[in-house]
Amino acid sequence: MIKRALVSVSDKRGVVELARALADKGVEILSTGGTAAALAAAGIAVKQVSAHTGAPEILDGRVKTLHPKIHGGLLGRDTPEHVAEMTANGITPIDLVVVNLYPFEATIAKAATTLDEAIENIDIGGPSMLRSAAKNHERVTVVVDPDDYPIILAALAAGDLSPGQRFALARKAFSHTAAYDASIAAYLSSIDESAAHSRHQAPLRRELPDTLSLQWRRLYELRYGENPHQGAAFYADSRSPLEQTKSERPTIATAEVLGGKQLSYNNILDLDAALGLCLELADPAAVVVKHNNPCGVAIDRDVASAYRRAREADATSAFGGIVAVNREVDADLANLLVETFLECVVAPGYSAAARDILAAKKNLRLVAATGAWRAPTGEVAWSVRTIAGGALVQSVDHGMVELADARIATRRTPTDAERADLAFAWRVAKHVKSNAIVFAKNGVTVAIGAGQMSRVDSVRICERKAGVGLKGAVVASDAFFPFRDGLDVLAEA
């Protein structure tokens, strides 16, 4: 039975309605600061925590609820010893805690946030109350998410929560405080020590920290993983600088699925690969990906023309592929997209006319990834790859060697057109699984050889796929040729 509740929230969604329902049931409500003011303004009887404890809020509000009458009321059990000790010390039980925390993650997501601003948004009293209440969930109910208020409202009508409900809410509270602490640790680990006493925007630390605190939140469960017998879910990072930069560049995790079936595990991998390559290309561009490798890439005067060329570069592989374009999908492009079976399309947006045309393909997944569609440069971000028993962490590969800085090793200097094609092929090769060979001509890939143990075999795959189409093309390789045999095959192609 809930007789006394402590309510103190930063996210005030639904809190007035919840508090009113509690008050109607005769529950005494303790609160602090802005929450108490909001409840009082709504005509709800509320008792300030300072009146309950007999101790004022001090240190600019940093100390409000850190008091034995609060934590004793949360941690005390229904044993004769605890009841006697609480009575002797004037401590009354608190049966319900409704708390969510200072918006630390939202604060550090702002590009101009200073270290001082971030520090001031580290909640101390809130996590302490959540942990105390969650530890004693046999007696105390803890609510950290406004979406769970209906559980409390239903329990008020029914009489009380079940032990299973209290356990589930406690588990969620501990997950929330763990994620909160992980975000703080990750943020501070990403800040250079020179910023320790700075009043300005904190410079990012470029060295890897001794300890990584990674936290992801589940977006949704997937039907299965890479294979039907594998369970899977899609998680997004917590916007800490270690996992996500502040550039607001588009990602699949932050994109909106506008239509079609739910994304699969393999769809998400391929969409990420297609988007990553498309972001490297400034001109109107189209990328077709199959099995995490590009099979056709093109740039042109508009994305419809680029897509037509990218698809025709390897029409067989394009069937059932994933397409990325770096401009809005218009009606011209939409008419081309519906000509072939495709799994997904990702773009900055879709015109109304394009949406009408694409609606004919009910299973085609349309993904809108908003943000700055450009190649990220100079950003601090880390890539994490798990292995059995650990993980490998490296800086994200944002770099590109510019051909203007390259040494010409042949007697003939490339023409301007060849240089442009080389730069294009070089960017594509970065996104092809090694050993990678990319032939390109006039802004379109002519053939792509991917994922072979021998670089010579990658060249031969290109030769078989393109035939006479390789004449006059340029070639990019993702690594050096250790012997001349690969170059001999290239010259003969």
For 326-362, the pLDDT digits (tens) are: 999 999 999 999 999 999 999 999 999 999 999 999 9
Element (H, E) at 223: none
Give the residue, 61 or 85, on which the prediction is more confident: 85
47 is catalytic: no
Tokens 């009508």, located at residue: 157
| Active-site hit among 82, 291, 398, 433 | 291
| Active-site hit among 12, 135, 398, 433 | 135
Q: Hey, what domains does the chain have and what are their CATH numbers? A: 4-189 (3.40.50.1380), 248-399 (3.40.140.20), 401-492 (3.40.140.20)
3 state SS of 236 = strand
As a whole number, the mean pLDDT across the chain is: 86
Q: What integer pLDDT is reported at residue 243 of this predicted model? A: 40
Q: Is the predicted pLDDT of residue 172 greater than 70, yes or no? A: yes
Q: Is the predicted pLDDT of residue 225 greater than 70, yes or no? A: yes
Q: Give me the helices (H) in 319-385, please.
A: 331-337, 352-358
Q: Structure pTM?
A: 0.76
Q: Is the predicted pLDDT of residue 246 greater than 50, yes or no? A: no
- Over residues 76-90, the mean pLDDT reads 85
Report the relative pairing of strands 342-347 and 365-368 from DSSP bridges: parallel
Tokens 């203007």, located at residue: 404
- Over residues 34-45, the mean pLDDT reads 90
291 is catalytic: yes
Give the residue, 173 or 199, on which the prediction is more confident: 173
Tokens of 353: 């006319």
Give the residue, 270 or 196, on which the prediction is more confident: 270
Give the residue, 288 or 83, on which the prediction is more confident: 288
3 state SS of 162 = coil
Give the residue, 287 or 260, on which the prediction is more confident: 287
Least confident of 238-247, 295-304, 326-335: 238-247
DSSP label at residue 478: S
Contact between 421 and 474 under an 8 Å Cβ cutoff? The reply is yes
